[in-house]
Amino acid sequence: MNVLAFRSGYDPVPFADREERDKCIKIFSQLESDGGGDMTISRNYYSEAATLARFLETSLLPYRVWFASEIIEYLFQPGRPSEDDYRSLMEYALEEKLNVIDSIFLRKEATVSASS
Amino acid sequence: MSTGSFCVSFPIIFEDGVFWLLRIRCPPQESDLKSEVWEHSLRTFAAVSSMIDSSVTTIKYVQTHSQIPVPTVHFYDSGYDNVFLAPYIVMDYIDGLPAPWSDIDLENEKQSTNFYSQLCGISLAMSKLRFRQSGYIQSISSDPPIIGALHEWDGKQHGSFQRAIDYYRQLVDNYWKHACGGCTTKATLPNDWNWTVALSEEKDLFTAYLHRSCLAKLEKHEINNEFCLRHIDLKFRNVLVKGEEIVGVLDWDECSCVPVWV
């Protein structure tokens, strides 16, 4: 199943499985061209912005964590990420979470001291 | 009778041979509200009603602004104070079979190309329906139509946004806050931690962190602030076919205007 396309954001070929995706984009591109359009959608389909946008839309899905390996592959390296990659990224995520909590705490503290 | 994840449908047969379809949205049960099943759908009754209103309005908009085959809606009630105690829509019954149960053979190159060409045509027609902001279509009594906020899985409102990047920022922010709130893992991971044994809340935090990284990259791009209509479940089961021709596209629930990223 083409999990990336399923219920993600705007996708011209959300019905296409992974193996059919290229074929469908070609058909879509032909239709865009036949309609006198400038083929902007099919031309941009594989662009970085479009790919990132489709990744972000997966946050609305119940099984959004399935996309983690695809996102890592896309963002950081070619090939499948190793367990070490997962571990170090998880540590970054926890650190980021603590930083955010710290900054909220500091902001609250600053507000309290300013009002007193 | 046919059933989907959230709906049940019954044919209405008139004496003169006219067929209509009654589609009832099943209300969430208490147990559903606590389960993962409803995580991806709408948790509040008000949100479901709003979504049904939008679904009907969207069908009407698509019918008047494109050639996409959709059923005509005769009447509906988006509330719960009715004979079914649930939102319902009465619409035309379209004489066709869902594509997976039709005679279309996707292994056959000619049939497959013909089928995909029709689907791409529908998708292209939807992409041409452009809007100035994100969200559900609320009213088509004005031009351009009135667009309202999206409802997220937890009933929270999302938008409406006129800038695509704001749309994505809130998506990421909501997910990050949700993931941070659910994850109690300390900063130091146990030695035997790995993805396979990670808790689901850890996986959520991890994925939400990746989304933040995606957003940081996306923010470097100039994104067009145009929005187009997106059918959230344009899958074969929602495409009705007669012979080799697509005669209907169903299930416009949660259809919304999203950034078109071009």
Its domain, for residue B178, covers 163-218
Q: Based on the fold, state whether residues B214 and B245 are members of the same structural domain.
A: no
Q: What are the pLDDT digits (tens) for B138-160?
A: 999 888 899 998 876 556 777 89
Quick one: average pLDDT of B26-39?
59
Q: Based on the fold, state whether residues B54 and B183 are members of the same structural domain.
A: no
Residue B156 maps to a domain: no
Q: Based on the fold, state whether residues B35 and B125 are members of the same structural domain.
A: yes
* Contact between A52 and B116 using a beta-carbon 8 Å cutoff: no
Beta strands B136-139 and B146-148: pairing type? antiparallel
Residue B155 maps to a domain: no
Average pLDDT, chain B: 88
Residue B58 maps to a domain: yes
* Contact between B232 and A7 using a beta-carbon 8 Å cutoff: yes
Check residues B81 and B47 and name the one with the higher pLDDT. Answer: B81
Q: Based on the fold, state whether residues B239 and B141 are members of the same structural domain.
A: yes
Residue B157 maps to a domain: no
Q: Based on the fold, state whether residues B104 and B184 are members of the same structural domain.
A: no
Check residues B251 and A113 and name the one with the higher pLDDT. Answer: B251
Task: Confirm or reject contact between A102 and chain B (CB < 8 A).
Answer: no
Q: Percentage of residues in chain B with pLDDT exceeding 70?
A: 89
Q: In chain A, which residues have their Cβ closer than 8 Å to the Cβ of B223? A: 49, 53
Q: Based on the fold, state whether residues B196 and B83 are members of the same structural domain.
A: no
Query: How far B48 CA sits from the closest chain A CA (Å)?
Result: 16
CB atoms within 10 A of CB B95: 10
- Give domain limits for chain A: 1-79, 82-116
Q: Based on the fold, state whether residues B122 and B236 are members of the same structural domain.
A: yes
Q: Based on the fold, state whether residues B203 and B238 are members of the same structural domain.
A: no
pLDDT at B42: 52
Q: Based on the fold, state whether residues B72 and B141 are members of the same structural domain.
A: yes
pLDDT at B188: 81
Check residues A61 and B132 and name the one with the higher pLDDT. Answer: B132
Task: Confirm or reject contact between B199 and chain A (CB < 8 A).
Answer: no
Q: In chain B, which residues have their Cβ closer than 8 Å to the Cβ of A94? A: 183, 185-187, 189, 205
Q: How far apart are the C-alpha atoms of A4 and A83, rounded to whole Å? A: 22
User: Long-range CB contacts (< 8 A, 24+ apart) of B37-43?
Assistant: B38/B153, B39/A62, B39/B153, B39/B154, B40/A7, B40/A60, B40/A61, B40/A62, B40/B153, B41/B6, B41/B153, B42/B151, B42/B153, B42/B155, B42/B254, B43/B153, B43/B154, B43/B155
Q: In chain B, which residues have their Cβ closer than 8 Å to the Cβ of A86? A: 194-195, 198, 206
Query: How far B140 CA sits from the closest chain A CA (Å)?
Result: 22
pLDDT at A2: 33
pLDDT at A3: 34
pLDDT at residue A6 tops 50: no
Query: What's the pTM?
Result: 0.83
Q: Based on the fold, state whether residues B82 and B9 are members of the same structural domain.
A: yes
Q: Based on the fold, state whether residues B170 and B146 are members of the same structural domain.
A: no
Q: How far apart are the C-alpha atoms of B150 and B157, rounded to whole Å? A: 6
pLDDT at B37: 47
pLDDT at B32: 59
pLDDT at B127: 92
Residue corresponding to tokens 């994505």? B168
Which helix (DSSP H) or strand (DSSP E) does residue A88 occupy?
helix A83-115
Q: What are the pLDDT digits (tens) for B57-110?
A: 999 999 999 999 999 999 999 998 999 989 999 999 999 999 999 999 999 999
The count of structural domains within chain B is 2
Residue B113 maps to a domain: yes
Q: In chain A, which residues have their Cβ closer than 8 Å to the Cβ of B195? A: 68, 83, 86
pLDDT at residue B237 tops 60: yes
Query: How far B62 CA sits from the closest chain A CA (Å)?
Result: 17
Q: Where are the alpha helices (DSSP H) in B128-163?
A: none
Q: Based on the fold, state whether residues B31 and B68 are members of the same structural domain.
A: yes
Residue B158 maps to a domain: no
Helix (H/G/I), strand (E/B), else coil: B224: coil
Q: What are the pLDDT digits (tens) for A12-60?
A: 898 988 788 899 999 999 999 998 777 788 888 989 999 999 899 888 7
